[in-house]
Structure 1
């Protein structure tokens, strides 16, 4: 979770990892329960075709008071700004457009007890998607594996979920990078990544969070996160209160170290939740913090509903410079009672490509 230079501190980090695992193992338990694969970059009926310089924004709209999704809006209900300059909308549709979804599933030891619940929730999500939507499944622990390449065959996806196997550590940053940089590379149309993880990278990744985040922003995918940080933090807080309440007089060194580890674990989870929140806010998605199996199933169902309810807004930027710089984008709804969710910007094209990042390798298990 944190990099330490001395052996005692490394052992302490391992004890904190074991602590998180033991707390999560007490987490909610729940009841678990052909067509040829198409490449995601093949043209699909209903796909929005873009001009070379056009920017496409999937946009969700919710009522500020109730949080409910808002439908039946028109092009006149939206205003788009790029770097605070209003843009002319070139295309708008409220008709459902096919989506390419990467399911990115954490199978490390911290989620070991929840794998069957996760599979059940992911399967329910897949069943709610449209016939023209495509899904690929990636799983990560010490390494990042492609379990199923792009397909709209729901039977193939269900079989792929059965091939997921557990691991130990959490290469979270590498998984984000490979989902964005490799799996979504060249994919046309609407793109989304759904992450199931606590987001804590415990030294297993080759890349930093900022490198992974930059790849996400280049991919132009909407990211949704289903995280266990809330339930873990709740359990650690309960344990901490119990330990501190039971203290009589001077605590032993062992007890003091354990309490200190609990506090450090809380900080690690809090920092992770801040990073996950940053991801969804900048990409136009949402974060869900389930406290039960019912909440977990509900989170995936909500994501599927939102994806089916998005508007698509395109515009041709008034700034024609091919400078590769990040352009800040904001979509506003003319009704002040409505709040929009869309990605916070994009990287302008440029003539000279960026130098490729030397990073982790994606292991293909989709042919197993």
Structure 2
């Protein structure tokens, strides 16, 4: 199968996890259409964060500040917490193409500091994938920040960019277990967003992330979209101003999965971007509801959360796939 051959490309380089695996010579074939992931849902948990119009995180809100809808129908919030304690499953995707060389070492160290800060041993786990010609697992799931740090420092820049393949395969192979009720599953993508070698399309990569309820955060390695000066230095997030085409791609992935896109001005700001992601993970809310639509038709249920307060933006996963009732079976 074409999909199996594409996955095999990543499996082969994964066997040397922890070592800097580099370019693969053969270009993998295009994948087949991905079947939906179906999950039985009695209680839907949604992890989300809130920002104001300047992209600053907003805390101190309660259940009365929100309304939740499923496919346009308002739902009753049955549980709400101001801090989520769901374990983390983090994939760090590092662009190792030639285009990101200028700030590469600074970005590596910022990513290492982030993992040291966020991961709780025995509870959270992370893996590392580097990508240029094709993606390569350089460290499989572990809760040891030092193992992750060693693998990140061993990545060397060089080659073209297969960003979409990296996102697709990271979600397909590393984020398939459990549901959004079990883990907070996220990818941190460190890249300039300029894909020029992927087999899968941007939308195929996004759909795979949605199937596995993965939130994507991006940190741009490209040139900042606007000039750095006294006025722009006060901006919380330069991605608010459209920059290069690659930055738009990164923002597309983040916005479409409930994450955030960061466009650092300087090498120092790269570290601040990771710090902002860390802060967001600490200030996420969780709400839960029992869906009014109990039909098990395998359809995608779209979730919308609205704030009762003005000028606030809610970041959350777009929805989930309902369980598909087997043919001939009856629900008790």
TM-score tier by shorter-chain length is: 0.7 to 0.9
| 4+ residue runs over 4 A deviation | 232-235
Render the CA deviation track for 1:311-361: whole Å, top value 9, x for unaligned: 112222222233333322111122225332112223333357xxxxxxxxx
In the alignment of these two chains, the number of paired residues is 268
Instruction: Report the counterpart of residue 288 of structure 1 in structure 2.
Output: 262
Q: Matched residues in 2 for 1:234 and 1:143: separation?
A: 33
Match of 2:31 in 1: none
Bigger-Rg structure (1/2): 1
Q: Aligned pair in 2 of structure 1 residues 273, 323: CA closer, same or farther (>3 Å)?
A: farther
In 1, the alpha carbon distance for the partners of 2:223 and 2:96 equals 18
Picking from 84, 90, 99, the partner of 1:101 is: 90
* Aligned twin of 2:285: 311
Q: Secondary structure of 1:231's match?
A: coil
Deviation at 1:76, TM superposition (A): 2.4
Q: 2:191 aligns with which of 186, 197, 214?
A: 197
Q: 1:130 to 1:172 in 2, by over 3 A?
A: closer
Aligned pairs for 1:135-174 within 5 A? 135-174=126-165
Among 50, 71, 75, the residue aligned to 1:83: 71
- Aligned partner of 1:322 in structure 2 is 296
Is contact 1:281-1:344 (8 Å) kept?
Answer: no
SS for the counterpart of 2:224 is helix
CA distance in 2, matches of 1:347, 1:146: 28
Task: Describe the SS at the equivalent of 2:203.
Answer: helix
Q: Distance in 2 between matches of 1:147 and 1:229?
A: 23
Give the secondary-structure state (helix, strand or coil) at the position aligned to 2:59.
coil
CA separation of 1:107/1:321 partners in 2, compared to 1, >3 Å: closer, same or farther? same
Q: Quick one: distance in 2 between partners of 1:51 and 1:320?
A: 10
CA spacing shift, 1:233–1:70, aligned 2, 3 Å: closer
Q: How does 1:257-276 map to 2 (within 5 A)?
A: 270-276=244-250
Q: Tell me, yes or no, if the aligned pair for 1:281 and 1:343 is still in contact at 8 Å.
A: no
8 A Cα contact 1:223 1:286, kept in partner: yes
* SS of residue matched to 1:314: strand
Unaligned 5+ segments in structure 1 are 1-49, 236-268, 353-368
CA RMSD of aligned residues (A): 2.4
Counterpart of 2:166 in structure 1 is 175
CA distance in 2, matches of 1:130, 1:75: 28
Which has the larger share of helix? 1
Show CA shifts across 1:236-273 (max 9, x none). xxxxxxxxxxxxxxxxxxxxxxxxxxxxxxxxx74433
Does the residue aligned with 2:317 lie in a helix, a strand or coil? coil
TM-score, normalised with respect to structure 2? 0.74
- 1:72: how far off? 2.5
Q: Secondary structure at the match of 2:309?
A: coil
Long gaps (5+) in structure 2: 1-38, 229-242, 327-332
Structure 1 CA distance for aligned equivalents of residues 40 and 66 of structure 2: 21
Q: In the aligned structure 2, how far is the partner of 1:234 from the partner of 1:179?
A: 34
